[in-house]
Amino acid sequence: MPSKEMLLLSSPASLIRAYPFLVVFFQNQPINLLKNEHLKLLHILKEIEEEGSEDTVFEGGHFVDQLQEYILQMEEFSGISSQRVESLTVMPGKDKSGEAENFDALHFRKSTITSIVGPTGSGKSRLLADIEWVAQADTPTSRTILVNNSKPSSDWRFASGKKLVAQLSQNMNFVMDLTVKEFLELHASSRMVANAAQIIDRIIDAANELAGEKFKADTPITSLSGGQSRALMIADTAMLSSSPVVLIDEIENAGIDRKKALEILTGEEKIVLMATHDPILALMADQRIVIKNGGIHKVIQTSAAEKAMLTQLEESDKKMQKLRTMLRSGEAFETLYL
């Protein structure tokens, strides 16, 4: 990491050459430091001080501290992909009555799906919060979370660009006024990915495969249908989110191919956790956790019999979908479809 003295003796232009990610940092300063980008920072800061920094809400010493910290964190951040999360492990704690949870160790491996069932208020959110906070027997449940079978670094808690869990829920909306392509470019640039254009194409293709109706790269994200929005969110989270765990809170059974959605996520080596009460989704998972009274009550591996049942359920679901499509296009039902 460069020392403060070294930073002060460098010019903004040379710093950006050495650390391209600093463009965003400089752009987000309240004052334009790139006006004389070839002058040494020392001189630029001195000049600002002489002009009177009070009006510009800028303080040179604080700026250099933040600059140094930003470089340190971003360099670590760009090294993350090399240390992949292969698995998460939950070590048992206790439920709301203080009873010990009845399992030895619960593993979530990459490219697998775990469904989570249990009534509202049973403790699903607490389990997810424990994972997000990489609990170390220091939350109300006393659970411990391991990453790759060992005690995780505290970065997972505190580093801004390094969060364990990405979320997808039915209440989520796009709120930015951008086209699909601009939106994905923005996300890619915040992640500093190298091959952005290629990933963006892949995301749009994948999302179009999930949603029934196709959209284009220049479609505004706010004019996407419910199914298209969900499809784009899933493909984007699978391919551009830095978080190794994806938490899904139900996927609606309309306008989107749910099976393919899960395949895309597991194909990108995500650890998928899915809160659902839909039997089809629950059985698509490799295992399911039953939550009761704030604790993990049971862990059920999806059996061969259940998988066979899933095939039947999917058949009848297809019939429902077909009827829905007919209804939409104004056709009359004939009994032969049932």
Kindly state whether residue 168 participates in binding another protein, applying the rule CB under 8 A.
Answer: yes
What's the min distance (Å) between Cβ of 287 and another protein? 24
- Beta carbons of 279 and 313 less than 8 angstroms apart: yes
Kindly state whether residue 121 participates in binding another protein, applying the rule CB under 8 A.
Answer: no
Helices (H), 52-96: 60-78
Count of C-beta atoms within a 10 Å radius of residue 338: 8
Supply angle C-alpha 244, 249, 252, rounded to 5: 120
- Beta carbons of 14 and 2 less than 8 angstroms apart: no
Contacts of 248 (CB under 8 A, 6+ apart): 167, 168, 169, 272, 273, 274, 275, 276
Q: Residue 293 has which token pair?
A: 């009274």
Q: Which is nearer to another protein, 177 or 213 (CB)?
A: 177
Contacting range for another protein; rule: CB under 8 A; set: 93-101, 124-132, 211-219, 255-263 = 124-132
Q: Is 224 helix (H, G, I), strand (E, B) or coil?
A: coil
Contacting range for another protein; rule: CB under 8 A; set: 210-218, 240-248, 292-300, 314-322 = 240-248
- Residues numbered 281 to 300 that lie near another protein (CB under 8 A) are none
Sign of the four-CA dihedral 128, 134, 137, 140: negative
**Measured in whole angstroms, how far is the alpha carbon of residue 127 from the centre of its chain?**
17
In the set 161, 212, 220, 226, which binds another protein (CB under 8 A)? 161
Kindly state whether residue 66 participates in binding another protein, applying the rule CB under 8 A.
Answer: yes
What's the min distance (Å) between Cβ of 41 and another protein? 16
What's the min distance (Å) between Cβ of 209 and another protein? 19
What's the min distance (Å) between Cβ of 154 and another protein? 10
In the set 174, 222, 290, 326, which binds another protein (CB under 8 A)? 174
Kindly state whether residue 139 participates in binding another protein, applying the rule CB under 8 A.
Answer: yes
The amino acid that residue 56 corresponds to is T
- Beta carbons of 75 and 21 less than 8 angstroms apart: no
What's the min distance (Å) between Cβ of 328 and another protein? 26
Residues binding another protein (CB under 8 A): 24-25, 27-28, 30, 54, 57, 59, 62, 65-66, 69-70, 73, 125, 128-129, 132-133, 138-140, 157-158, 160-161, 163, 166-169, 171-176, 183-184, 186-187, 190-191, 229, 233, 236-237, 240-242
